């Protein structure tokens, strides 16, 4: 069974913390964690099941907020890489109290880059149990990946991740 690649960024904060939660749920021998900041196309090609981990950072001017971040650089790679026969799921950190109108918007930002590739995006998530006003991370009434709010609901992270992975295992055909 091929390993799952968890491509995450930024490093050292909540995104990385949740990458380790996911790692422990799957089992360390089943996944490989790679910071998007250091990723190369060759590395991308090693995996056919990939999880993207990201955070949402501001929305006064979306494009300028995402410039010079780890994900800004990786976005270029997403668009030019070969995603044939690959499945991608996403999780996204956000803060529903400070940013209720832009909750986990980054899911939408990354999905925009993925949707024109041949990648199959899986791991959509019900909005049940989440409090927010608006989000660009929604499609057809579902979040495009797993929202996680470590700033206000850290106590819910383990269960949220566990439930998500239980579904993801099937969708990944793992
Ligand atoms: C400047 C700034 C802007 C943010 N903007 C948003 C936002 O628009 N939507 C949201 O859901 N969370 C927003 N957040 C919350 C972060 O996504 C959240 O704190 C996340 O856990 C940070 O992950 P990290 O520690 O890995 O960087 C923002 C945080 C900061 C510091």
| DSSP reduced 3-state for 147 | strand
**pLDDT category of residue 43 using cuts at 50, 70 and 90:** confident
Residue 60 has pLDDT above 70, yes or no: no
Q: Which CATH superfamily is domain 4-172 in?
A: Flavodoxin domain (3.40.50.360)
pLDDT score of 68: 63
Q: How many residues does the chain have?
A: 174
Question: Which residues are 53's β-sheet partners?
Answer: 8, 91
Distance from residue 106's CA to the centre of ligand 1 (Å): 10
Mutate to test the pocket of ligand 1, among 21, 59, 66, 94 (most ligand atoms within 8 A of CB): 94
The C-alpha atoms of residue 135 and residue 105 are separated, in whole angstroms, by: 5
pLDDT in tens, 121-165: 999 999 999 999 999 999 999 999 999 999 999 999 999 999 999
Query: Does residue 63 have a pLDDT over 60?
Result: no
Domain definitions of the chain by residue range? 4-172
Write out residues with Cβ below 6 Å of ligand 1: 10, 13-15, 55-59, 93-95, 99, 102-105, 150-151
Q: How far apart are CA 70 and CA 118, in angstroms?
A: 23
């Amino acid at each position: 069974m091929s390993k799952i690649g968890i491509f995450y960024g930024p490093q050292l904060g909540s995104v990385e913390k949740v990458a380790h939660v996911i790692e422990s749920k799957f089992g360390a021998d089943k996944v490989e964690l790679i910071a998007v900041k250091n990723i190369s196309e060759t590395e991308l090609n090693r995996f056919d099941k990939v999880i993207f981990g990201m955070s949402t950072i501001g929305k006064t001017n979306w494009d300028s907020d995402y410039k010079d971040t780890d994900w800004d650089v990786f976005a270029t790679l997403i668009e030019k890489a070969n995603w044939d026969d690959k499945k991608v799921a996403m999780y996204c950190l956000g803060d529903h109290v400070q940013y209720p109108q832009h909750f986990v918007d980054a899911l939408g930002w990354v999905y925009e880059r993925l949707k024109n590739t041949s990648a199959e995006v899986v791991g959509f998530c019900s909005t049940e149990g989440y409090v927010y006003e608006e989000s660009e991370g929604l499609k057809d009434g579902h979040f495009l990946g797993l929202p996680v709010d470590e700033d206000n609901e850290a106590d819910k992270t383990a269960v949220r991740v566990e439930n998500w992975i239980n579904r993801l295992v099937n969708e990944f055909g793992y």
